[in-house]
Every structure is written in C-alpha cells, then in structure tokens.
C-alpha cells in the first residue's frame, strides 16, 4: 500500500506540474520548457545534496545508476512537454497516464505475480485512460488538436511513455544504491543533455517573462518531489504497483485543467476518470 501511496503523491505533483506546463509550453517551446525545468530542479536539490547528500560516498556503479535514470527521464519529460505544446491536457494527460503499467509488466517479467484483482485494476486503468482520451467534447480533447498535428502529438506521447516507464524502474533501482534524493539530483544534468539538442531545434527563442520563470521553478520543484517519491517507493514491497498510483495523474490533470484552464470534460471522460480512480484506490487497499 505504501508504494501505491507514493505513486499517488507523485501523481498529485505531476498533475499540477502538467497544468502549468500546458500554459507555458506553447509559447516557450516544449523542449525548451523541459530543459529549464531540469535546470530549476537541479538548483532546488543542490543545497541539500551539497550539505547532506550520500552521493559523495557513493560507488561508481551507484552514481552511474542515477545518471542512467536521467537519460531515460530526459526523453520522458521532453516528449511530454512537446506533446503539451500540441494538444490539451485533457488529451495528453490520459494518453501518457498508462505508462506506469509498463513498469508493472517489467515486474511480472522479473517474477512479480499480481492477483486477478490487481490485473483487473491494471486493465481498468488503461481502459479509463483510453476512454478519457477518446471522449472529449466537440471542441475539446482530440478535437482540439490542430489539423495535421495528431501524428506528431502521438509520436511525442509515445516517447514520453517509453521514457517515463523506463525511469520508474531505473529510479527505484538507483534509490537502493545511492538514495532517492541523490539519484534525482544526478539525473537532472543528464536529462538536460538529452533535451538540449531538441531544445535548439524547437523553434522558440523568445525571452521568458517573470511569470514564466516562476512557473518553471514551481514545475522544477514539483517534478523533483514526484521523482523522489517514485524512487523512494523502491524501498517497499510491491514497488512495481507505485506505477498504478502514478496513473491517477491522468485523471487529476484533467480535473485541474478543467478548473484552471477551463478545458471541457465530457460525461464520457468522467466515466473514464471514475474507472482510473477506482482502480487506483482498489490497488491501494489490496496490495500486501
């Protein structure tokens, strides 16, 4: 249960993070925004790591595990932010929310044996995300994407799914060797290096406003808290199920986009959101 709750906390952080990203990425550029978020997250964590981090006594392989996390995370966050620059939260959030299921499948490959009810929760999470993505209002969801932009949006959404799902596994492993905070700190510079080539090709060169800088530092803080929570779940039994908790972020981001960005939510999307929330809650109370 604890691992799932860590995932739910990360989902809350990232849902707020996604609403801010949607409001900034279109004008700043998806990859540029992601790159600055990595910089801000590194700054936020540096004071703690320099003061009390275990990274300075860590072995070479332990440090490498944190750096490898950054490689995967760079592709995940870059793909997500670029997708947000092409479509609304009510579409991109649910499409990418199913990525934690891949972490569960990785656990199955390595000996995890989910119960029938837990498999049902995984299936309900995926189905709920599909329903939310496909059931938007006539001027919302998939219908809000500019003509011809849907293939690009899907490409970057898949990029986000693969990057984030890999980062769950790598982050939990890194937490065991170097610590969840230090692993998150190590991952930021590597993620930035992954993002820089994309950022230079993003086509956006405008000077950031004060509010955009504030938004980026808020996103950077929320992002590192979310990553730390997921990494920390690696210390607990059933760590693979933390991903199911994370999947709640698709539902939470849609609700927050409705409140703060005035994006419309259809009755069909509410059904999908209810499925996701129910599946996550059930997984939380049934995990041993």
Contacts of 164 (CB under 8 A, 6+ apart): 72, 73, 76, 77, 80, 96, 99, 100
Contacts of 255 (CB under 8 A, 6+ apart): 15, 265, 273
| pLDDT (mean) for 2-28 | 83
Contact 91, 136 (CB under 8 A): yes
Which of the residue ranges 12-16, 190-194, 246-250 has the most confident prediction, judged by mean pLDDT? 190-194
Average pLDDT, the chain: 82
Look at residue 286 and tell me whether its pLDDT is greater than 80. Answer: no
pLDDT for the residue 148: 84
Contact 172, 233 (CB under 8 A): yes
Show the CA angle centred on residue 126, arms to residues 161 and 129, nearest 5°.
80
Assessment of whether the complete model's pTM goes beyond 0.75? yes
Look at residue 38 and tell me whether its pLDDT is greater than 90. Answer: yes
Contacts of 25 (CB under 8 A, 6+ apart): 33, 81, 82, 84, 85
Angle between helices 116-134 and 248-260 (to 10 degrees): 30
pLDDT for the residue 115: 78
Contacts of 250 (CB under 8 A, 6+ apart): 93, 94, 95, 96, 97, 98, 128, 129, 132, 276
Q: What are phi and psi of 147, to 5 degrees?
A: -55, 135
Q: How far out from the chain centre does Cα 66 lie?
A: 17
- Residues 58-96 have pLDDT tens digits of 899 999 999 999 999 999 999 988 888 888 777 787 777
* Confidence at 184, pLDDT banded by 50, 70, 90: very high
* Confidence at 258, pLDDT banded by 50, 70, 90: confident
HSE, side-chain direction, 13 A CA sphere, residue 21: 37
């Amino acid at each position: 249960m604890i691992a799932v709750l860590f995932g739910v906390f990360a989902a809350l952080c990232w849902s707020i993070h996604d609403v801010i990203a949607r409001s900034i990425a279109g004008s700043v550029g998806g990859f540029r925004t992601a790159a600055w978020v990595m910089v801000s997250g590194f700054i936020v964590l540096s004071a703690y790591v320099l003061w009390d981090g275990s990274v300075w006594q860590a072995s070479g392989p332990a440090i490498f595990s944190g750096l490898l996390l950054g490689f995967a995370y760079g592709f995940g966050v870059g793909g997500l932010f670029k997708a947000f620059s092409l479509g609304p939260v009510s579409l991109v959030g649910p499409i990418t929310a199913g990525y934690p299921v891949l972490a569960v499948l990785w656990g199955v490959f390595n000996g995890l044996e989910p119960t029938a009810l837990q498999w049902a929760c995984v299936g309900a999470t995926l189905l709920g995300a599909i329903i939310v993505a496909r059931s938007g209002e006539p001027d919302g969801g998939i219908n809000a994407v500019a003509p011809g932009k849907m293939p690009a949006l899907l490409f970057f959404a898949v990029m986000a799914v693969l990057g984030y799902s890999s980062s769950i596994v790598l982050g939990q492993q890194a937490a065991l060797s170097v610590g969840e905070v230090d692993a998150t700190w190590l991952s930021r510079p590597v993620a930035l290096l992954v993002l820089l080539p994309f950022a230079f090709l993003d086509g956006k060169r405008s000077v950031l406003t004060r509010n955009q800088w504030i938004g980026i530092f808020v996103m950077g803080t929320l992002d590192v808290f979310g990553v730390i929570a997921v990494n920390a779940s690696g210390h607990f039994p059933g760590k693979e199920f933390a991903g199911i908790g994370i999947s709640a972020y698709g539902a939470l981001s849609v609700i927050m986009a409705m409140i703060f960005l005035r994006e419309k939510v259809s009755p069909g999307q509410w059904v999908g959101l209810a499925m996701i929330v129910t599946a996550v809650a059930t997984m939380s109370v049934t995990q041993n």
